Structure 1
Amino acid sequence: MLDNISFANPEFFWLFLALPLALVWYIFKRKEETAALKIATIKSFQYKSILPKLKPGLFVLRLLALSAIIIAMARPQTEDISTRTKTTRGIDIVMAIDVSSSMLARDLKPNRLSALKEVAADFIKKRPNDRIGLVAYAGEGYTKTPITTDKNIVLNALNEITYGQLEDGTAIGMGLATSVNRLKESKAKSKIIILLTDGVNNSGFIEPQTAADLAIEFDIKTYTIGLGTNGNALSPIAYNADGSFRYGMRQVEIDEELLKNIAEVTGGKYFRATDNETLEEIYEEINKLEKTDIEEFKYYRYEEKFRPWVLLAGALLLLEWVLRNTVFRSFI
């Protein structure tokens, strides 16, 4: 009867402390009202009846009625809560992903590109209220997905990103400029770019510094990530006869000074990811740094449940009165 019930006035439960006192009072009063008569034998007065023994049950009924009244006074009620959320200040995000051949290096498992796609997918799922777009770049850059709230489109596009869709190379300036172009008309509260690369700028006709200046002009914050272990990594170095890559150890070269400068001048932050775990931590930190303000409205509907307890108390008191004035009348 009390499942999923809350009480509007639980302070009335303190009245339960009075019930043991009432019980003690009843016991002493009953002893005072019982007269003692001493006789030699009771054979002539023997009368077998259990009614005298059941007489205290009337007081028990009264205690139960008082308990039901106390519960009713505490106002038991069920609570139905409906929630509506409203995103008050959204964030537009473009993820610029390097898809050059070096992203197939195996210092991250199974390789840099696959590891990135897995972590980026998890990041996208954690941003349900923001618009996200994808830019892929190698020797040049292009928009894979414009900023959108449809996360399924973004996730599918991310899954489709592979090496070979663009001429090989690392055009950091092109990747950044393309990302800026996608965000420059945005009216969002915050506009950010997450630019990831594992190399140095060696392609494209837009210099990274020029692209950074564009980001500053349009108030776009840029987080940069350098991806790759320290030292050498097993990387593609040539093609086999069947067209597949031949792997060999190659020095990891990342233009960290450039990435740090881009992040600093645009108000972002630079990160270095040397393994899968570090990459996950970086995206988790960015997720915490860029929070979307969400306004939540809760609507409460209460249904009072005290009436059954009042009826139960009334029924118990009525039963006690009827028994006292009928069955137990001669004993009262």
Structure 2
Amino acid sequence: MILFEHIIFLPLLIFIVPLIYVSHFWRRRGGRILISYKIYRDKPYFRGSLWWNFLAFCAYIILWISLVLMILALANPGIIQKHQIFLKDTSAIIILLDVSPSMAAKDSGQHDSRFEIAKGAIHRFLAHHESNAIGLITFGREAAVRIPLTRDYQFFQQRLDHVWLLEHGDGTNIGMALGLAALQLQRSGAQHKSIILITDGANNIGEFNPEDAIILLQSLGIQAFTVGVGTQEKLRISIWDKKREELLTGFVDDAYDEELMRAIALETGGYFFKSESAGAFDAMFSAIEQQHTQEGLSRTSVTTTSSRYLLLQIALGCVLFWLFMRYLILREVF
């Protein structure tokens, strides 16, 4: 954003057009007599040639530009930049994304897989955030921190694009994912700590069961939002295993454990959502976003950078260029 400190000088720009008309187009301004003469080692120079008239025209354009820049410099334009400074951590959110093979299924009426729909919703969720620190844990048979808590959402989205199915094996280890998320949030200084669990399967592996994870979340004051993805219909899946470099095909007909998902959410103060489409995902993320909206925890710093001296330098350069063109190149007499 550009702001002029002394706008009283801006009306002077109106007089530029009349001055150009009087100097170059008014019939009573006077005229030129085209003559031929020799200078500098008897080389002929004709004032009426097209090339020299073009150079003269360019020189005058540069002169008028310099005058405009001088007027703008008098108005002292400044570029205003706003910076949002966070006074302290507001909220920390860790997203748990299921990357088991069943997430490759495409539910009825959907062109994308459950995994692609979930990733797309996460991308849109990040686009509406400014202050929350967000991290990502992916899980299957095992769980791993793919993105630590960060406010660099561009970095987050770049890393999210490199998440792939089956990277943690075949299985759904919800308990381990919840426990790992709790340990990550325990180190955060945020006032509000939350987990968003996205899965289409039931917990079927792991020594750390979800019930123990619920107790851990309660003790740390961590709120959990759970998202059940997909339906119970039998669907064919096709997925490329990057580790084995082979195409895997099969069928999936199991579904998430709704009772467990509700328990995780309700016992930690969160909510349970059913997301069978991209629109349902967006509505769910919108509701979670409202839960984490905090006011008064950040301030806006405004800085103004004056462009006056830059414009004056450019204007001076234009004047020098004009003098160079008129009296050294075109060889006019003072």
On whether the aligned pair clears a TM of 0.5, the verdict is: yes
Residues 263-305 of structure 1 show CA distances to partners (whole Å, capped at 9, x for unaligned) of: 111111110112222122111221122213354447799xxxx
Q: CA deviation at 1:81?
A: 7.3
Residue 189 of structure 1 deviates from its aligned partner by: 1.3
What is aligned with 1:183? Answer: 185
Distance 1:300 1:253, change over 3 A: closer
Alignment match, 1:220: 222
The amino acid that maps onto 1:234 is: L
Cα distance in 1, alignment partners of residues 92 and 267 from structure 2: 19
- State the secondary structure of the residue aligned to 1:174: helix
Q: How does 1:162-241 map to 2 (within 5 A)?
A: 162-229=164-231, 231-236=232-237
Counterpart CA distance in 1 for 2:160 and 2:80 is 38
Moved over 3 A (4+): 78-86, 237-240, 294-301
Q: Quick one: distance in 1 between partners of 2:239 and 2:288?
A: 36
1:105 aligned residue: 105
Q: How does 1:9-24 map to 2 (within 5 A)?
A: none
Candidates 239, 243, 246, aligned match of 1:243: 246
Kindly provide the CA deviation profile for residues 188-243 of structure 1, in whole angstroms up to 9, marking residues without a partner as x.
Answer: 111111011101100111100111111111111111000002x4042338999x93
Compared CA separation, residues 275 and 182, structure 1 to 2 (3 A) = same
Percent identity of equivalent pairs: 27
Structure 2 distance, partners of 1:101, 1:80, is 52
Aligned match of 1:35: none
Matched, 1:126 2:156: no
Once the two structures are TM-superposed, the CA of residue 151 in structure 1 deviates from its matched residue by 1.5
Aligned residue identity for 1:157: R
The total of aligned residue pairs comes to: 226
Q: Does 1:155 align with 2:150?
A: no
Counterparts in 2 of 1:260 and 1:296: CA distance versus 1, 3 Å = same
How far off its partner does 1:140 sit? 1.2
What is the CA–CA distance in structure 2 between the aligned matches of 1:143 and 1:132, rounded to whole Å? 12
Once superposed, what is the RMSD of the aligned Cα atoms?
3.1
2-structure distance, mates of 1:97, 1:190: 20
Bigger Rg, structure 1 or 2 = 1
Residue deviations 1:41-98 (CA, integer Å, cap 9, x gap): xxxxxxxxxxxxxxxxxxxxxxxxxxxxxxxxxxxxx999765533345111100000
Letter of the aligned partner of 1:94 in structure 2? I
Q: Is 1:264 equivalent to 2:266 in the alignment?
A: yes
> Does the 8 Å CA contact 1:196/1:225 hold for their aligned counterparts?
yes
AA paired with 1:129? Answer: S
Distance in 2, Cα, partners of 1:238 & 1:190: 37
The answer (yes or no) to whether the contact 1:130–1:292 under 8 Å persists in 2 is: no
What is the match of residue 332 of structure 2? none
Partner of residue 85, structure 1: 84
Helix, strand or coil: the match of 1:155?
Answer: helix
> How far is the alpha carbon of 1:128 from its aligned partner?
2.2
CA spacing shift, 1:247–1:300, aligned 2, 3 Å: closer
Query: Is residue 87–residue 292 contact of structure 1 (8 Å, CA) maintained in 2?
Result: no
Deviations 1:15-59 (A, max 9, x none): xxxxxxxxxxxxxxxxxxxxxxxxxxxxxxxxxxxxxxxxxxxxx
**Change over 3 Å in CA distance of 1:81–1:218 after alignment to 2:** same
- Structure 1 distance, partners of 2:271, 2:92, is 17
CA distance in structure 2 between the partners assigned to 1:143 and 1:235 by the alignment: 29
When normalised by structure 1's length, the TM-score is 0.61
**In the aligned structure 2, how far is the partner of 1:288 from the partner of 1:194?**
14
**TM-score relative to the length of structure 2:** 0.61
| Matched-pair contact (CA < 8 Å) for 1:228–1:273 | yes
Equivalent-residue separation in structure 1 for 2:201 and 2:153 (angstroms): 29
Contact 1:228/1:252, CA 8 A, preserved across alignment:
no
**Runs of at least 5 residues in structure 2 that lack an aligned partner in the other structure:** 6-76, 305-334
In terms of mean alpha carbon deviation, does 157-166 or 291-300 score higher?
291-300
Q: Give yes or no for contact 1:105–1:233 (8 Å, CA) kept in 2.
A: no
